Structures are given as C-alpha cells and as structure tokens.
Amino acid sequence: MPIKDTRFTRENGRVLMLGNEAIVRGCLEAGVSYVSQYPGTPTSDIGEYFHQILDSEPEMHKYLVHHWAVNEAVASSSCAGAAWTGVRALNPMKHVGLNVASDALSVIALNGPKPGGLVTVVGSDPGSLGSHQEQNERFYAWMFHLPTIEPHTPQECKDWIKLAFEISEKYDLVVNFRTSTRSAHSRGFVNLEPIIKGKEKGEFIRNIPKFNSLPPHAINNHIRLYERIEQLRKDIPELGFNTEFAGTNKIGIITSGMPFGYTMEALEQLGLRDVPVLKLGMIYPLNYEQIIKFLQALEKVVVIEELEPFLEMDIARIAHEHKIQVEVLGEKYFPKYNEFSTGLVATCLAKIYGKHPNDQMMKAIDYFNSYKDIVPSRFPTFCAGCPERATLYAILKATNHLDNTVICGDIGCYVMSFFPPQECSDLIICMSGGISAAIGMSTKTDQKVLAMIGDSTFFHTGMAPLAEAVGYDSNFLLIIFENSWTAMTGHQDDVLRYLSKSGFSIEKICRSIGVQWLRVEDSYNPKKLIKSIDEALNSKGLKVIIVKRECALQANRWRMSQIRSLETQGKRVQDVSYFIGGCQMCYECARILSCPAIRRVETDGIEEMQIDQDRCVKCGVCYEICPNGAIRKSVINALEGVEVPFREL
C-alpha cells in the first residue's frame, strides 16, 4: 500500500505501526546488521519490511544483510555465524519453526552469542489462526535457557527488541522475543528514536572452548549458561520490563503479552479497579524478589496466560519454595487451548471474583448463538486458477476419488487440500512429513500411496527424505508443486529463484538424487496430467511428477501488468473470457474442481453455473474439463490483438 513510507527512515516522530513493523524499526534503531529467516506466519512480514527498506535505500546493503533461508535451522546457525563476528543478528520464525531451529539453538544458546548479539523473534499462534497447530513453544525457554520477552503493544515491540539486543550482548545469551499472531498484527502508536547503522564488518576471534560445545567444554558451557541466566535473573527489576498496578484486593493477577490487554478491559467491565496486577514483560527468567513481594500481600493469585500453564508452574514453584501462603489459580478457570479474548477473560474472572459479566456482552453472546447456525462455512481455499487445485482435480480423477489410495499432505498452500469439497489429503504432519510418512506407509500397505510437496518445502527439508525414498526404492508417487514462490506465507522468493538463474532445477535435483521415473507436467493440461498420475500409480517403485506452473496470483498480476503496459502503448490485446451456456448441472466444475470463480445461480427456478468475470483469471482449466462442453471460450480481438499468455517457468 505505501507509496512513500518514511516510517522506517525518519529519525523521530510518532507513527502508527503493526507489531512486526515496530520490531523492524527497533532493529534499525539497534543497529542490526544481519537477519536470516524462513518465512512463517506471523513473522513473514518482518523480512518483507527489511526487503522494502533495502530496495528503497540501496546504500543500506552495506550495513544490513537479509536472507530468506531454506529452513529455520539454517537461519539460526547463519545468525550465530554472523553474531560470532561481533555484530547484531535477528532470527525470526514461527512457533513450529522453533522445532526445526531447536537443534541449532540448543547449542548456540549454550555457547552464547558474544561477541555479538542474537535475538530470535518467535511468533506464537494461540487459536491456530495461521498455522497447523498451536503448540506452546514457551517451554523451550526452560529447556535452552532463552530469556523470553513478551511485548503487548507496538511501542513495546520497538523499545524491547532494542533492549533484547543489549541483554543478549551483555549477558552472552540468546534472547527470545515472543510475539503472537495478535501482537504481530495489531497496530498502535510508536514513538521513534534515531536509527543506528549496523556494523559493516566484524571479525571472528578463535575461542575453542566457547564455540566447540563438546566434552569437556559442553559441561563448562552449561555451568557458564547457569551463571549468565542467574545474573540476568537478579538484574530484571532494573530492566523495566515488568510493571505493577497497585490495588487492595486480596486476589491479584499476574499476566503478560496480549492477555494483559484482555485482563485490564475485563477488570474494567467487571468494575474491579482495586485488583493488583503484575504485568510481566519478561516471562523467563523470573526475578524471585519481585514475584515474592507481589504474592506476599495476597490470598490468591490468578495467572492469566494462553495455552499450557507456563508462568503458573513457575510462580507456584516460587511460592512453594519460599513458603508463601497463596493459592495459585489459572488452568482451573481458564482453557488451555485456543486464543483468549476480553469476553472470555471477563467470564472466567467473574467466577473468581463473584461478579456478573455485563448485560450487553451476555445478550450479544445469546443473540449470536440464536442465529449462528445459518452462517455458511467459509474456510480458506485455493485461489481461482490455482495450479494446485487443478492438480488435486487430476488426482481425484486418476484415482476414482482416492479409491484404495492414501494421500500424504504437507505444509504449503496445499495444506488446504483436506477441506471439502475436494478433501484430497489424508494426513499432515510437518514440513516434508508427507514424503517421510509415505516411505514408512508404503512398506506396510498395498494401497496406492501418494505424497505432495511444494518447491519451497522441498528445499526446506524435502530433499533428504526424497534421497531416502530413492535409496529404499519406496513404492509411492511424489507430486512436487513447482510454482516458483513461497506462496502460502505471502510470496517470498525461494532459493529456486536464484538457483534457476544458473540453470539449476528441481528436475535436475531429482535426477541427480537418482529418481528414475520422472515426469514434468502442467496442471493447466489436466487430461495429460491425469494420464501421468494414473500410469505412475500403476507402476512399482518411486515415481515423481513435477507439476510446473506459476502461482496463479502472481501469474495473473504479471499478466495484467503486461496487458496494461501493452494497452498504454496503444496496442490491441486479445481479451479472453470463459462463459457457461447449456449447463447440465453435473457439478464437475463445482464439486471436483471447485473453482471459487464459479457460482451457482437460480434464474426463474432454473439452476445453472456461472463464471464471475471479475474473479476468473482465465486459466482455462474448467473449459478443459467440462464433460458437456458447456464452458465456452470467447476471444475478442482474436485476429488483430496480441496474445498475452501466462509466463512459462
């Protein structure tokens, strides 16, 4: 949207920013000089802002490097490598990305980032708003001793990420900055401070015990890690992360991050202005004196946090160890799943404090419940023209609707395959989990096994299981979607884009690994694709089909810009459109292809399908597959106009 966005360049002022934008601004004010990440909601846009800044201020390349890494473990180690030359490195990832990065971070945390600083931004996702699960990755903080900061507002995002770098350098600790889908994508005012240029160059200074955590250094570094974390624990009150709201009520509250906001508004709604509230900005480690002092005045303390009890366990432990007579409440009243809201917190607190939630809210819930069943579902689905949708259509046709077939899904846009009406995915595990599951499954069943993976996921962790499948000559079909983008997270470049410039391709990788049965197909030619899938599933051993077709969103943007530029040059362009006439209502396009640009309409009691011209991207797949020839193609300016097809990959 921005034409000229000065929020990342101006020296001062007060601007509106999303949490993620504020994190990037804070990094610029902290002089960050290396960023590496694999895109993942809700942290993907952090990298996009860095890219925008580098594009608009080319001289910044000297001070700031941003890499889209192939996966999170690579990103974390890259950041460590940069930090160990004495610069500040930022490592954003989504919560499940931390599982991938954990192998690297477990060691990096032990060694410590000094002489540089290393801050991870981990985007959690209570409510699973943009992820396949809502794991509570806060427990990694205990496992690896990652000091963990939880911001609430964009101002805190900006101010605290700067502090995170200072702490990381001062205490030689990897600091984790934990956001959530909500804090990352909520906008508020941010007061800016001057930008500092990142270090252009650093230098690695040899230190074998610090950087080689093997026996005997492993134990020594572990001891050293405790010393570092305990020093930080003592200093917490001076850092200014934690705030106390005084009150005389004997039931107090400890909370952090987004639940703090819900809590304050819930208390106001319940008319409870006397409740002591301790807002923790740093959730690990906890300063014992600060917690003890807060608990001592109370009979009960309510810990308000989303997902599994993390703070609650630590606070109960502190109360127990210091023999404080206080009842610790939390999971008994609050759900351990899903995202919180002001309404939910108010309802739970009403029970604890013996109050009634307000009338307006209760009536709103009741009235909503009285009609919500008439609201039809609207889950995310493949865009109009999506080559993955067309491939699922081909799979359904080739297997007679998955008869005697198991389809192993994966993470990417095709994660949506399980949604009706296509329901073309039997299982999903994690990045590249589909190929791996197929390896094991195909040894134990005579069903036909099919796995799917996208190009970005293939580079992330897909090549290793493919090599294993070749090694064991596994009996399944792998479909690789090559659409040339990390599409699901908002079209970041993937590494293929750079590799293809030097003539490299997924096809060549597969051949080099040793794949014998290999075809390259186009999902806009569904009949040929169906034939190939059918042949593959009736052959023994490992088969790979690469479906090569650019993401329709990007392809359509490119085509529209070509058309606009030709038209401004005064050239005539062929105007292709598809329309339906004589529809037999066989539902082939609506139930098996299920393109969102097609709608069912009723005119004078007669039902038929129609194509929404403003949504159709003219991929022509419905025209190819209509069994009754009812979908027609019209080309205006057919003779004199220039044809603008989709670009080839």
- Restricting to residues 573-592, name those near another protein by CB under 8 A: 587, 590-591
CB 84 within 8 A of CB 139: no
Options 254-262, 330-338, 520-528, 563-571: segment touching another protein (CB under 8 A): 254-262
Compute the least distance from the CB of residue 99 to another protein, in Å: 18
Instruction: Output the smallest distance, CB 611 to another protein, in A.
Output: 11
Residue 163 backbone zone (phi > 0: left; psi -120 to 50: alpha; other: beta): alpha
Interface positions, 326-355, toward another protein (CB under 8 A): 341-343, 346
Q: Which of 41, 71, 76, 221 binds another protein (CB under 8 A)?
A: 41
Segment 518-557, which members bind another protein (CB under 8 A)?
none
Q: Which residues does 368 contact at the CB level (< 8 Å), separation at least 6?
A: none
Region at 5 (left for phi over 0; alpha for psi -120 to 50; beta for the rest): beta
Q: State which of positions 154-183 bind another protein (CB under 8 A).
A: 181-182
Residue 460 Cβ, how far from another protein at the closest point, in Å? Answer: 17
320, 309, 20: which is closest to 142 by C-alpha?
Answer: 309
- Binding another protein (rule: CB under 8 A), the pick from 204, 226, 367, 498 is 367
CB nearer to another protein: pick between 255 and 523: 255
Buried b (16+ CB within 10 A) or exposed e, 565-587: eeeeeeeebbebebebeebeeee
Q: Which residues pair with 129 in a beta bridge?
A: none
Give the span between the Cα atoms of 251 and 297, in whole angstroms: 9
Q: How many residues line the site for another protein (CB under 8 A)?
A: 76
Residue list 611-640, contact with another protein (CB under 8 A):
614
- Cα-based torsion angle of the residue sequence 125, 126, 129, 135 in order, rounded to the nearest 10 degrees: 60
188/202 with CB nearer another protein:
188
Query: Which residue in the set 10, 61, 187, 332 belongs to the binding site for another protein (CB under 8 A)?
Result: 187
In three-state form (DSSP H/G/I as H, E/B as E, the rest C), the secondary structure along 239-259 is: HCCCEEECCCCCEEEEEEHHH
Task: Out of 223, 375, 606, 639, name the contact with another protein by CB under 8 A.
Answer: 375
Which of 248, 325, 360, 603 lies at the binding interface for another protein (CB under 8 A)? 360
Residue with tokens 């002489």: 115
Site for another protein in 268-297 (CB under 8 A): 268-269, 273
By CB under 8 A, tell whether 361 contacts another protein. Answer: yes
254 phi/psi in degrees, rounded to 5: -120, 130
- Our CB check for another protein shows the closer of 314 and 388 to be 388
Please state the three-class secondary structure of 16-35 as a single string: EEEHHHHHHHHHHHCCCCEE
Residue 610, beta-bridge partner list: 599
- Which residue number, 42 or 115, has a Cβ lying nearer to another protein? 42
Given 197, 322, 564, 599, the residue binding another protein (CB under 8 A): 599
User: Footprint of another protein on residues 415-444 (CB under 8 A)?
Assistant: 416, 420-421
**Judged by CB under 8 A, does residue 379 bind another protein?**
yes
Choose between 4 and 501: whose C-beta lies nearer to another protein. Answer: 4
Q: How far is the CB of 314 from another protein (least distance, A)?
A: 24
CA–CA distance, 457 with 93 (Å, rounded to integer): 15
